[in-house]
Structure 1
Amino acid sequence: MKDKIRIFQFNGTSILIEFDSEINESLLQFILRLKENIVRGNSEHILQVNTAYNSLLVIYKSTINNFYTLKNQLLQLISQVDLKQKPDLAVRKIPVCYEEDFGWDLQLLSEELELSKSEIIRRHTKPVYTVYFIGFLPGFPYLGDLDKRLYHRRKSQPRTQISAGSVGIADKQTGIYPSDSPGGWQIIGRSPVTLFDPNQKKQMCYLKAGDKIQFEAISREEFESFQTRSKEHKFLI
């Protein structure tokens, strides 16, 4: 990684690593491999490692008293990142109902983007998206590679509540609300998939950074069928 790297103490128990690089798939893979190196080499001292578009936050179990020693260790781990390992390219299909009851802002986007609703749906379901990181809410995936014709600003006045499963667009991103929450994204549909389940101790979040997903348009009837089977524990995605 030849880009400029900044490493500094973020607070009493954490160190932030920032990469001065354009956000892209190559940087994401480097960050994910680095996270693996850090966790594998320091598991007894590290509480958590959080990734974002161009940074990692390393959270230690105790107060940092030797920052420069830890910084040198991190630099060493950065130099050892091996990008020859191929990432998992399996694509998960995420069903989404884009009908009016769920696509609250679909008409607005249709008018402002000068695209038909069906064309917005076609462009939204065509790409294979990369999960760049999980943030904002537990299980909320920030997805890259949105069609440029669908770029749209956030709402100037956020809603006080958005339903779990709502699929939205904000600037160059698309994402899915894992739980009921306030939010300012433009809502174009809803998915019946449960993205965050605190009762699943081994894997509370359905998605993780580096995963590949593709949206799949479904009808209202199919949406309700997905929900029914999920409640009966007969449907697992």
Structure 2
Amino acid sequence: MSTFKLTYKPFGESAILIEWPQKISIAILDDIRNFSFKIQHSNIKYILEINFVYSSLLVMYKSKKINYFDFKKELQFIYNENLIIKNNLKTTIWEIPVCYDIGFGMDLPFLSLQNKISIEEIISIHSSNYYTVYGIGFLPGFLYLGGLSKKLYLKRRETPRLEVPKGAVAIGGKQTGIYPGISPGGWHIIGKTPISIFNINNKKPCFVIPGDKIKFNPISKEEFDQIKSEKEVKLKKVD
């Protein structure tokens, strides 16, 4: 049975963009995950890829096999189908080590000054929350994390950096996230993780999926170097 009123739009020549109410919501995320699961386990043979973030779901399909209007009707039928599958959706809580050393967290002093909060409190607040993964993009493995404390909200930099280091943990607006590789970026960097979030050589390049949760664990510079030197790092799951 449907839960939300959705909008369907053509996205290029071979994709449909499906949108929920434009807000960050666990209920919306769960509904999107359920819909995605139902689509993947339907008998549709011409789907190429499914991706979602926050309040939208993108379904790419073989446009030579079916037209937009017929495919849209199929998706609407699947969404409204009375199929209960929530128990099939698993949530994993990942513990990610982060070094908040000032050498890594270059924007900690700025955040402290702007929000009138000590660096120690920033670290304490940031590492005490459980963050929900609402989507993955704009880079492969870039996690959009919801659940940031209002005390740490900070508008993105007016001038983005041309190069943000791999593993940088940062804050942008009401979100926090991890840069999976070296890239330009406008978020405020507050730390760094020695863990590779995305590795194209792995069978599963990104071990995190939307719906999972992230818990940051503060570590020292020495612990960072130790983890970085290990050939194989075993990721911790929080029970």
Q: TM-score range by the shorter chain?
A: over 0.9
Superposed counterparts of 1:96-175, under 5 Å: 96-175=98-177
Q: Find the counterpart in structure 1 of residue 51 from structure 2.
A: 50
TM-score (norm 2): 0.92
Q: Is the alpha carbon distance of 1:118 and 1:43 closer, same or farther for their aligned partners in structure 2, counting shifts above 3 Å?
A: farther
Structure 1 equivalent of residue 178 of structure 2? 176
**2:10–2:16 CA contact under 8 A, matched in 1:** yes
8 A Cα contact 1:30 1:83, kept in partner: no
Separation in structure 2 between the aligned mates of residue 9 and residue 228 of structure 1, nearest angstrom: 47
TM-score between the two structures when normalised by the length of structure 1: 0.93
Gaps of at least 5 residues in structure 2 are none
**8 Å Cα contact 1:166-1:191 kept in structure 2:** yes
Which residue of structure 1 aligns with residue 5 of structure 2? Answer: 4
Question: What displacement does 1:62 show?
Answer: 3.7
AA at the equivalent of 1:29: D
Give yes or no for contact 1:157–1:184 (8 Å, CA) kept in 2: yes
> Shift of the alpha carbon at 1:84?
4.0
Which position in structure 2 is the counterpart of 1:236?
Answer: 234
Q: Does the C-alpha gap of structure 1 residues 43 and 191 become closer, same or farther in structure 2, counting only changes over 3 Å?
A: farther
Task: Note the residue ranges of structure 1 that are not aligned, 5 or more in a row.
Answer: none
Residues 75-127 of structure 1: per-residue CA shift (max 9 Å, x gap): 11111353642643442100000001100100000011000000000110111
Deviating more after overlay: 173-182 vs 6-15: 6-15
- Three-state SS of the structure 1 residue aligned to 2:199 is coil
SS of the aligned residue for 1:153 comes to coil
Cα separation, 1, equivalents of 2:127 and 2:162: 27
What SS is found at the alignment partner of 2:41? helix
Letter in 2 for 1:109: L
In 2, are the aligned partners of 1:12 and 1:63 still within 8 Å (CA)?
no
Q: How does 1:64-103 map to 2 (within 5 A)?
A: 65-80=66-81, 82=84, 84-85=86-87, 87-103=89-105
Q: Distance in 1 between matches of 2:92 and 2:188?
A: 28
Aligned residues between the structures: 233
* Offset at residue 173 of structure 1 (A): 0.2
Q: 177, 199, 202: which one pairs with 1:197?
A: 199
Structure-2 separation of matches of 1:99 and 1:212? 24
Identity %: 41
